[in-house]
Amino acid sequence: MGANLREIQEKIARGSQISREDARSLYEHPELLEVARLAAAVRYRTHPQRTVTYLVDRNINYTNVCNTDCTFCGFYRPRSSHPESYVLSREVLAGKIEEALEHGATRILLQGGHNDELPYAYYVELISWIRSRYPIQLNAFSPSEIQPMHRVSGKSYEAILSELKSVGLDGLPGGGAELLDDGVRQRVSPKKISADEWISVMEVAQSLSLTTTATMVIGFGEDIDARLNHLERLRDLQNRSIARGLEGFNAFISWTLQFNENTSMGRSRHRREFGASISDYLRNLAVARVFLDNIAHHQSSWPTAGIEVAQLGLSFGCDDIGSTMMEENVVSQAGAPTKQKWSMTAEELIDAIRDAGFAPAQRDSKFCIVEGDGVPLASSRFPLPSPGVTC
């Protein structure tokens, strides 16, 4: 172990946060398994048990109409007159939610494109309609969807999120973050919400005690500084929220960019400059766990890297393996169709967790344990339930 890694290890043992330059040295360290060992130290300091959680849920995309033209997206259609565009009817939504409930889902994740033709009232009525009919947690509208609501309604982020919460919204998914570095965003998604605005929406959501998650996508041809900018923005917000007695982000979730020929990035002559390897992904998981030691749960995500890599990620600092999803329409449209599947059963996730040597436990979107042969994730730093969270 080099001198720098020893210093990082000492900081971890003291419970101190590592510096940006420490994180850089973890990204550059030649021995990946040494970095994994440090991440595991933070993981077991936070969650001493070998419990790994999973969530049974359904991911519903209510519309594919979007005006934002992200170069990595193969899901959206540019206008409602496009023959493949849609806005899901209430009947279709009801069928999807009822099927999810039959499969034991505890959460619906609701996300869509930035559809100019939907009025602000559509979103409020949608949440209200679902919550008045179905006993299920509802995480909906990532910050990049809240911004168009702000534009069409003229209401502040706080007014919008308060109203959505009042009709039953439980939390916001962390979508639309990709990399919180405006240089990268200008290059790959110039019309999308800026890094500052993404953080602002999440800060308001956290102050209203809505459940929030932090996400990260790697593989845009970014340098280490862009990744560090992303991690620093997340950690700064999390430190601010915790200092205010709030939960902040309850999980960090990262994945690798998918960019097949359905995307303009995948058709670009620069396509060789994009993408991230499996070792890149595992290293990013480990660096994030060490740097973001203030976020309780870190997820090893199976959809883009596959379940075997997700199992490996459990030894790179992760304590959660994500959700069953039931359907995925966004990332899968940009992924290699023969490489992997885009939904899992609860039994498959349980087997994967056990095969990797951990004890599975089903959680809900607040990380409250629903059932499992593991013990609840309780620790002195992140007690279950977290401050302000009622299970």
The least distance separating ligand SF4 from the CB of residue 250, rounded to whole angstroms, comes to 23
Q: Which is nearer to ligand SF4, 213 or 315 (CB)?
A: 213
Q: Which is nearer to ligand SF4, 75 or 249 (CB)?
A: 75
Q: How far apart are alpha carbons 362 and 367 in whole angstroms? A: 9
> Beta-strand (E) ranges in the chain?
51-55, 57-61, 107-111, 137-140, 171-172, 211-218, 249-256, 297-299, 320-323, 359-363, 369-372
Residue with tokens 């030894």: 315
Counting contacts by CB under 6 A, is residue 65 touching ligand SF4?
Answer: no
Total interface residues for ligand SF4 by CB under 6 A = 12
Q: How far apart are alpha carbons 38 and 316 in whole angstroms? A: 9
Restricted to residues 183-202, the positions that interact with ligand SF4 (CB under 6 A) are: 189, 192
Rg (CA), the chain: 20
* Region of residue 69 (phi > 0: left; psi between -120 and 50: alpha; otherwise: beta): left
Counting contacts by CB under 6 A, is residue 301 touching ligand SF4?
Answer: no
Counting contacts by CB under 6 A, is residue 66 touching ligand SF4?
Answer: yes
Restricted to residues 138-157, the positions that interact with ligand SF4 (CB under 6 A) are: 144
* Region of residue 320 (phi > 0: left; psi between -120 and 50: alpha; otherwise: beta): beta
Q: Which is nearer to ligand SF4, 88 or 314 (CB)?
A: 88
Q: How far apart are alpha carbons 35 and 278 in whole angstroms? A: 15
State the burial class of residue 52 (Cβ atoms within 10 Å of its Cβ: 0-12, 13-18, 19+): buried
Q: Which is nearer to ligand SF4, 46 or 147 (CB)?
A: 147
Q: Which is nearer to ligand SF4, 66 or 310 (CB)?
A: 66
Q: Which range, of 4-12, 62-70, 318-326, 348-356, touches ligand SF4 by CB under 6 A?
A: 62-70
The least distance separating ligand SF4 from the CB of residue 249, rounded to whole angstroms, comes to 20
What string marks each residue from 76 to 115 as x (binds ligand SF4 by CB under 6 A) or -? x------------------------------------xx-
3-state secondary structure of 133: helix
Note the residues at the interface with ligand SF4 (CB under 6 A).
66, 68-70, 73, 75-76, 113-114, 144, 189, 192
